[in-house]
Amino acid sequence: MVLQVAQTSEQQAYPKIYPTNWWKLRNALHRKVQKVRVDEVYLSSVLGVDKKAARNVRPQLVAIRLIDEEGVLTDRALDWRDDGKYADVCQAIVEEVYPEGLQAACPPPDPDPNELRNWFMRHAGVGEGAARMMARFYQLLCRRDPSEGRPEAADGPKTTRSAASKRRTATPPSGPTPPAGGTAVPVVQPAAPSVAAGGASSPTVNIAVQVYITPDASADQIDQVFASMARHIYRLGAQGDEH
């Protein structure tokens, strides 16, 4: 038994075009429009979908008059490619396809998505999933912003953050890599600020030294390491202070 829901005279179908398909097609027509016939084969190629999905997209494009029944591009489609005319095309589609009641209840440029979903569920007689698709496309038309379809609009900030993250991750710590199993012992040689003639402070230099001690080092070897540091590093620091 198949349950069918009868549509009233007020209910009608509204376009439900995925934004990604909208922009892919527009970008494809930016590259070439001569001798283009928007059929299932063409849509399958430029949208990266199978022919069944392309077959569902095609009547949506006819409904908003971007192509005719034969798949030929209309003058509206040519204007749609133009950033300067894009907003006018979107406005014309909204005025032709959607009733004034919807435009008044959910006006551009930023209609409430929940109100839109409920409106389409009620007036188009569809389920929540289809209503959300209709709502997303209506929102896209209301924004009237051609820059949303540019590759840098979607990938630019993400790429920048990713590159910065890679730089932070790839930057190795200063100093030599400790031997496997070794222990790093930080030793810092502070430098007291020196005062030049006349009482003015001169630049200071701080030296940070890391000593890596292997687990098999004996106590005598460790003492020799620090004794050598005392003779050389600290003596150099003292000589610098004298100058």
Q: Would you state the structure tokens that stand for residue 63, as one six-digit string? A: 């409904």
Cα–Cα distance measured from residue 44 to residue 121, given in angstroms and rounded to the nearest whole number: 29
| pLDDT number for residue 189 | 52
> Tens digits of per-residue pLDDT, 174-227?
555 555 555 555 555 555 555 555 555 556 666 666 766 666 666 667 777 777
> Rounded mean pLDDT of 152-172?
45
User: Which range has the worst mean pLDDT, 10-24, 27-41, 87-101?
Assistant: 10-24
- Of the chain, the end-to-end C-alpha distance in Å amounts to 100
| pLDDT recorded at residue 30 | 92
Residues 149, 86: Cα–Cα separation, whole Å: 11
pLDDT average, residue stretch 123-150: 95
**Residue 150 banded pLDDT, cuts 50, 70, 90:** confident
What ranges do the domains of the chain cover? 19-152, 183-242
Query: Could you tell me which residues come within 8 angstroms of residue 7 by beta carbon, excluding any fewer than 6 positions away?
Result: 125
* 126's tokens: 């569809």
User: Token digits for 147?
Assistant: 């820059």
Please state the φ and ψ torsions of residue 211, each to the nearest 5 degrees.
Answer: -110, 125
Check if the beta carbon of residue 49 is closer than 8 Å to that of residue 56: no
